[in-house]
């Protein structure tokens, strides 16, 4: 058994301004996505320019921040909002929802695609390989904050938290939904794939990782289990992702449409 060392959630202070590790993980997430997108856009045959990437990341940032916060309020914090009309703006009370952030990003990138005359599916496919490192960083931010712990357990790597040995489910998610997803999607998108395939694989891989970890992760205390002692809100929100991902993969390989992210002359 390991002992959770405890961390100061504040990375550093500048006078009255306190910069938190959790906030820095979002900076890392956006910076990593921008860097990876620039690298992918610089490949021979890419139809993406550096300016396209900069605008793309700006739209994605808006989607993540607005969608993530609103999603948390709607999925997990309605009871708090009923008591406090300013609750959505109290960003230090409660946090961000991945599923809300995903919906926000999809809407923002669809808007970006329409404004640039691109196929929405191509923009989603381009985005699929970019979030993994950011997901890893944000989940490690949850670990630093000492939140989203799992059930008590007796595995050698469980951590002693407030006198109880708990599964570090933030780290599980960081590895499965973050690093593993990042590695597989980067490899998968290193070659031209049918339209919808990268987006579909992203949904499937994230969903499988999240659904698995949810069996060990404790639900929010004010919500609890939705059924028995195993079904959580995370399960309920993630299952449609798995279904949608499988449907997109099936559609991609059945239709075999070429992606608009590479010029026709460069396709193999």
Q: What is the pLDDT of residue 94?
A: 62
Torsion region of 46: left, alpha or beta (phi above 0 gives left; psi -120 to 50 gives alpha): beta
Q: Which two tokens stand for residue 189?
A: 């998108």
CA-to-CA distance for 132 and 246, rounded, in angstroms?
19
Q: What is the pLDDT of residue 79?
A: 75
Write the burial class of residue 117 (CB in 10 Å: 0-12 exposed, 13-18 middle, 19+ buried): exposed
CA-to-CA distance for 210 and 195, rounded, in angstroms?
25
Q: What is the pLDDT of residue 148?
A: 92
CA-to-CA distance for 207 and 158, rounded, in angstroms?
23
CA-to-CA distance for 251 and 6, rounded, in angstroms?
47
pLDDT digits 0-9 by tens, 131-151? 999 999 999 999 999 999 999
Per-run averaged pLDDT (10 residues), the chain, 268 residues: 93 91 95 98 96 97 92 82 76 77 96 97 98 97 94 96 95 98 98 97 98 94 88 94 98 96 67
- By residue range, what is the domain housing residue 234? 2-266
Q: What is the pLDDT of residue 262?
A: 92
Q: Which DSSP category does 217 fall into?
A: B
Q: What is the pLDDT of residue 60?
A: 97
CA-to-CA distance for 253 and 79, rounded, in angstroms?
44
Distance of alpha carbon 197 from the chain centroid: 18
Q: How many domains does the chain have?
A: 1
CA-to-CA distance for 71 and 234, rounded, in angstroms?
12
């Amino acid at each position: 058994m390991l002992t959770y060392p405890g961390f100061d959630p504040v990375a550093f202070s500048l006078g009255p301004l306190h910069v938190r590790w959790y906030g820095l993980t979002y900076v890392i997430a956006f910076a990593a996505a921008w860097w990876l997108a620039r690298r992918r856009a610089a490949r021979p045959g890419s139809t993406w320019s550096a300016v396209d990437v900069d605008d793309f990341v700006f739209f994605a940032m808006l989607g993540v921040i607005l969608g993530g916060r609103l999603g948390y309020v709607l999925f997990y914090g309605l009871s708090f909002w009923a008591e406090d009309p300013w609750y959505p703006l109290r960003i230090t009370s409660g946090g961000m929802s991945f599923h809300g952030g995903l919906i926000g990003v999809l809407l923002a990138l669809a808007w970006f695609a329409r404004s640039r005359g691109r196929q929405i599916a191509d923009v989603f496919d381009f985005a699929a390989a970019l979030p993994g490192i950011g997901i890893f960083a944000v989940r490690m931010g949850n670990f630093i904050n000492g939140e989203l712990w799992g059930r008590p357990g007796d595995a050698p790597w469980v951590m002693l938290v407030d006198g109880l040995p708990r599964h570090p489910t933030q780290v599980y998610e960081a590895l499965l939904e973050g690093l593993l997803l990042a590695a597989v999607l980067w490899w998968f998108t290193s070659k031209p794939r049918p339209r919808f395939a990268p987006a579909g694989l992203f949904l499937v891989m994230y969903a499988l990782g999240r659904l698995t970890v949810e069996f060990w992760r404790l639900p929010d205390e004010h919500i609890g289990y939705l059924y028995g002692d195993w079904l959580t809100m995370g399960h309920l929100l993630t299952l449609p992702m798995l279904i949608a991902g499988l449907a997109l993969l099936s559609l991609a390989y059945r239709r075999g449409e070429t992606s608009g992210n590479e010029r026709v002359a460069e396709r193999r």
